[in-house]
Structure 1
Amino acid sequence: MSVFAAGISSMATRQILSELAAAYEEATGEVITIESVGGVDAAKRIRAGEPFDFAVLASDALQKLEADGHLVPGSIIEIAESPMAMAVRAGAAKPDPLDEAAVRKAMESAKAIGISTGPSGTHVQALARGWGLEGEGASRLVQAKPGIPVAKLLADGEVEIGFQQLSEMLGAPGIDIVGLLPESLQPGTVFAAALCKTGAHTEAARAFIEYLVSDETAETKRQHGMIPV
């Protein structure tokens, strides 16, 4: 069976897209291949002109790519909201309840805080600035390399607490998820799909994206920690 369309995504949507691509193939007989890498690297590769039919990234990253002429204009479609969670190493004490005061206290007292190179990491950096932790606090922020989950930093003992999209923490070994950040601290990250200008199978990719936003994909999104939009 020949490849139907090829896409690239960030790691946050890797499991969701893998399941949905398989379901789509079963329903239609068409093959979708998706390479999941760090979001920063994905954007760089699209900018470098690699031939992808579509991309699934944080909506703000896609908007920048569209503005710079790398995407088919007007093709960005939101797929799901991705809430952000806090985790600790397995067996470590967990704040309860996880309210804004608890998150701030945890960041102030932790010797090392794990963050990603993606939207969640940028958000934690902003929280640190807002809470006056730019000095010593900022130096304790440990950023995972692109494509490496924050959960690995926790499991390996490199950090005491970690923040990332819930979808990237679910099922990760060696960690305990404390819970979702309170609504007041959620960044409101939304992942979206778009057509790449370098694509050779535009209509095929468009059909798959339409499937990604259909009602029949909602339960898969919820199972992996995302909220359908």
Structure 2
Amino acid sequence: MKTLNILSGGAAQGLVRSLAPAFEAETGLGIAGDFGAVGAMADRLRAGVPTDIVILTAALIAKLADEGLVLRSSITDIGRVETALAVRAGDPLVSAKDAISLRAVLLAADAIFLPDTKASTAGIHVAKVLAELGIADLVADRLKVFPNGATAMRHLAESPDRRPIGCTQSTEIISTRGVVLSGALPPGCELATMYTAAVATQASAASQAQRLIALLTSPLTSEQRSRAGFVAGLTS
């Protein structure tokens, strides 16, 4: 089967997978490519990896447009994704109403599962929050860092630790079996990131890529976006 090549942040993986059957039925194309830390995906595009469609943070897509790597006219927002806390299925939920309670939650965990703290949206943010809470050094040996949020959540699901938690984007938590969304980060520590799609300048299937963007952002698929963890109307 011919495929549409995608490079995407892990936040969009669940949504793309849920819409893949409808896209394939309409176009005859499967969807192939990589989902991972947004910085790593942008670097793959810059390296010349064959790509038809890119789904990354709005800021990064704008930068790629400035670099001539995506078509500015194709840029379309999909929705915002919150960075959130996760626990293993069956474990007690944790929540944090403010920075003080978030600090307590993190200090109580004996393992904290995160995506890449240098290349992923959520990982970079969580590292910043740990520093702002004054506990980066205290929890350094408890951090379990993985290339992307989906991988981090799969390892959280299988963790043998007594009180593990995870922190990544809500979409990656929702789409991973064995973990449960436990709540968004509290005011002052929160992050809601706009994810945006664009057609790659060198796309070999530009019209089909544009069709996938239309499907991802259609009013008819708003329920799928909501179930996947995309939220409309949040401010950054």
Q: TM-score, length-normalised on structure 2? A: 0.82
* Mapping 1:132-171, distance limit 5 Å: 132-146=134-148, 148-157=150-159, 160-170=164-174
2:124 to 116, 122, 125: 122
Instruction: State whether residues 9 and 34 of structure 1, in contact with CA within 8 Å, keep that contact through their aligned partners in structure 2.
Output: no
- How far apart are 1:76 and its partner, in Å? 2.3
Instruction: State whether residues 218 and 228 of structure 1, in contact with CA within 8 Å, keep that contact through their aligned partners in structure 2.
Output: no
AA at the equivalent of 2:193: T
Is 1:175 aligned to residue 179 of structure 2?
A: yes
3-state SS of paired residue (1:149): helix
1:199 to 200, 203, 220: 203
Partner of 2:16: 17
3-state SS of paired residue (1:12): helix
Would you say how many aligned residue pairs link Structure 1 and Structure 2? 226
Residues in 2 aligned to 1:206 and 1:38: alpha-carbon distance in whole angstroms: 21
- How far apart are 1:126 and its partner, in Å? 0.9
3-state SS of paired residue (1:92): coil
Is 1:66 aligned to residue 65 of structure 2?
A: yes
Gaps (5+ residues) in structure 2?
Answer: none
Instruction: State whether residues 52 and 198 of structure 1, in contact with CA within 8 Å, keep that contact through their aligned partners in structure 2.
Output: yes
Compared CA separation, residues 37 and 211, structure 1 to 2 (3 A): closer
* Mapping 1:78-89, distance limit 5 Å: 78-89=77-88
> Please, what is the CA RMSD of the aligned residues?
2.5
Instruction: State whether residues 149 and 169 of structure 2, in contact with CA within 8 Å, keep that contact through their aligned partners in structure 1.
Output: no
Partner of 2:229: 225
Partner of 1:37: 35
Partner of 1:99: 97
Compared CA separation, residues 37 and 123, structure 1 to 2 (3 A): same
Partner of 1:54: 53
Residues in 2 aligned to 1:108 and 1:155: alpha-carbon distance in whole angstroms: 20
- How far apart are 1:30 and its partner, in Å? 4.0
Compared CA separation, residues 177 and 147, structure 1 to 2 (3 A): closer
Partner of 2:213: 209
Structure 1 runs (4+) deviating above 4 angstroms are none
Instruction: State whether residues 113 and 142 of structure 1, in contact with CA within 8 Å, keep that contact through their aligned partners in structure 2.
Output: yes
Percent of pairs with identical residues: 27
Instruction: State whether residues 55 and 196 of structure 1, in contact with CA within 8 Å, keep that contact through their aligned partners in structure 2.
Output: yes
Compared CA separation, residues 198 and 139, structure 1 to 2 (3 A): farther
